[in-house]
Amino acid sequence: MASRGDFHTHSTASDGVKTPTELVDLAAGQGVVYHALTDHDSTEGIVEARRAAARHPGYTLIPGVEMGTDIAGAEVHMLGLYLYPEDPELQQALAKLREGRVGRGEGIVRKLREMHIMIEWERVQQIAGEASVGRPHIAQALVEAGYVSKVAEAFDKWIGRNGPAYVERDKMTPAESVQFIVQRGGLACIAHPADLPNLDALLPELKAAGMAAMEVYYKDYAPSVVQMLKQHADRNELLALGGSDYHGIFGNDEKLPGNIPLPDSSIERLLELAATLPNRQLAH
Ligand code: AMP
Ligand code: ZN
Ligand code: FE
Ligand code: FE
């Protein structure tokens, strides 16, 4: 079922393969009219995406980011929607997070090489280009060198959170990221929460920190998972949002932008909340 909204997508500004222009064109072509670009720790794609957006009447680009955060034993991803690239304090914080990604990426490649998996850090940097470098770029180098046949396999074997070549980087806690997003005038939405431990404690804690929404209609979540998450959302008075998390790196069965069962009522509620955010004057 296609939706008019998609609040989680990636471009070449992080680990997606479509340029911001190509991504906006793809989303608009799929009938998405409220679309968030949420690159990892970067809003570098937003300016280009805005230019592309101007060519599609009736289409609205929502600027955003996805921040990686940590809890014991698991990784929590936090989407910050309505965060604007013109905000210098936002840029300062994101630049610091991206620097941490470079050191961490080098560390992962070093560990792989110790295991005689001989990919080059220089090649990973070439694949990433100007982007906020991430593990998918390393996975692509592993595919290219013939060590695995697809990106997901690299995560399963080596670079997933509990894999032998995983290296940590400095991250905020989930509550800190929520506070940061809210302080910068944005709206915080926890990403793909289905597999996280103890949602019964985590969601109220993040709601108290100022989080407004959670992903319920995510990528390939089964109807039973969507139903379970919707109950969590209702119980915690969190807006049930969602997105495709489109990257273009996961092969033929990857969901295209808008290909999620997100209802129009969620979009309407998001727009109501957005109208109360302090950052509106930055939008143009
Ligand atoms: P990073 O930002 O470097 O920590 O990498 C996180 C990104 O890696 C996520 O946005 C996903 O696109 C991808 N990813 C994480 N875990 C997996 C996995 N198990 N299989 C495939 N891709 C994954
Ligand atoms: Zn990603
Ligand atoms: Fe994520
Ligand atoms: Fe994502």
Q: pLDDT, tens digit, for every residue of 152-169?
A: 999 999 999 999 999 999
Tokens found for residue 247: 């990257």
C-alpha of residue 81 to centroid of ligand 3, in Å: 14
Q: What is the number of the ligand closest to the CA of 65?
A: 4
Measured between alpha carbons, how far is 10 from 79 in angstroms, rounded to an integer? 12
Least confident of 1-5, 25-29, 123-127, 140-144: 1-5
Question: Residue range 108-124: average pLDDT?
Answer: 98
If phi over 0 gives left and psi between -120 and 50 gives alpha, with beta otherwise, what is residue 82? left
- The residues near 254 (Cβ < 8 Å, ≥ 6 apart) are 246, 247, 248
Ligand 1 and 134: CB distance under 6 A: yes
pLDDT in tens, 167-187: 999 899 999 999 999 999 999
In the three-class reduction of DSSP (H, G, I as helix; E, B as strand; rest coil), residue 281 is classed as helix
- The Cα–Cα gap between 23 and 94 comes to 22
For residue range 228-271, what is the model confidence (pLDDT) as tens digits?
Answer: 999 999 999 999 999 999 999 888 889 999 999 999 999 999 99
Q: For atom 13 of ligand 1, which residue has the closest CA?
A: 136
- Whether residue 258 contacts residue 30, with contact meaning beta carbons closer than 8 Å, is answered with yes
Please state the rounded mean pLDDT for residues 86-106.
96
Is residue 283's pLDDT more than 70? Answer: no
Averaged pLDDT for residues 215-237:
98
Q: Is the CB of 155 under 6 A from ligand 1?
A: yes
Q: Is the CB of 40 under 6 A from ligand 1?
A: yes
* Residue 282: predicted pLDDT: 57
Q: Which atom from ligand 1 is nearest to the alpha carbon of 137?
A: 3
| pLDDT value of position 252 | 83
> For the chain, what is the mean pLDDT?
96
Distance 136 CA to ligand 2 centre (A): 7
User: Using an 8 Å Cβ cutoff, are 174 and 202 in contact?
Assistant: yes
Give, for ligand 1, the residue of 15, 79, 97, 127 to mutate: max count of ligand atoms closer than 8 Å to Cβ.
15
Residue ranges of alpha helices (H) inside the chain are 20-29, 46-53, 88-114, 121-128, 135-144, 151-154, 174-183, 199-209, 223-235, 264-274
CA distances from 259 to 19, 23, 96, 200, 223 (A): 19, 14, 33, 28, 14
How large a percentage of the chain has pLDDT more than 70? 98
CA pair distance 163, 108, nearest whole angstrom: 10
d(CA 22, CA 257): 12
What's the mean pLDDT in 199-209?
98
Residue 32 phi, psi (nearest 5): -80, 125
Ligand number with the minimum distance to the CA of 77? 3
- For the cut 70, the answer to whether the pLDDT of residue 124 exceeds it is yes
- Count of positions (residues) in the chain: 284
Q: What is the mean pLDDT of residues 113-121?
A: 98
Q: What is the pLDDT of residue 73?
A: 83
Q: What is the mean pLDDT of residues 21-50?
A: 98
Would you place residue 141 in the very low, low, confident or very high pLDDT band (cuts 50, 70, 90)? Answer: very high
Whole-structure pTM value: 0.94
In terms of pLDDT, which residue wins out, 189 or 283?
Answer: 189
Q: Is the CB of 151 under 6 A from ligand 1?
A: yes
Q: What Rg, from alpha-carbon coordinates, does the chain have?
A: 18
Q: Give distance in angstroms: CA of 12 to centre of ligand 1.
A: 15
Residues having C-beta closer than 5 Å to ion ligand 3: 77, 191
**How far is 16 from 43, CA to CA, in rounded Å?**
13
Check residue 281 and give its pLDDT: 55
How is 218-249 classified by DSSP, letter by letter? -TT--HHHHHHHHHHHHHTT-EEE----B-S-
User: pLDDT grade, residue 284 (50/70/90)?
Assistant: very low
- pLDDT score for 72: 86
Instruction: At 275, list the tokens.
Output: 């109208």
Give me the mean pLDDT over the 19-44 stretch. Answer: 98
For ligand 1, whether the C-beta of 171 sits within 6 Å is no
Spacing, Cα 15 to ligand 3 middle (Å): 11
Give the pLDDT of residue 280.
Answer: 57
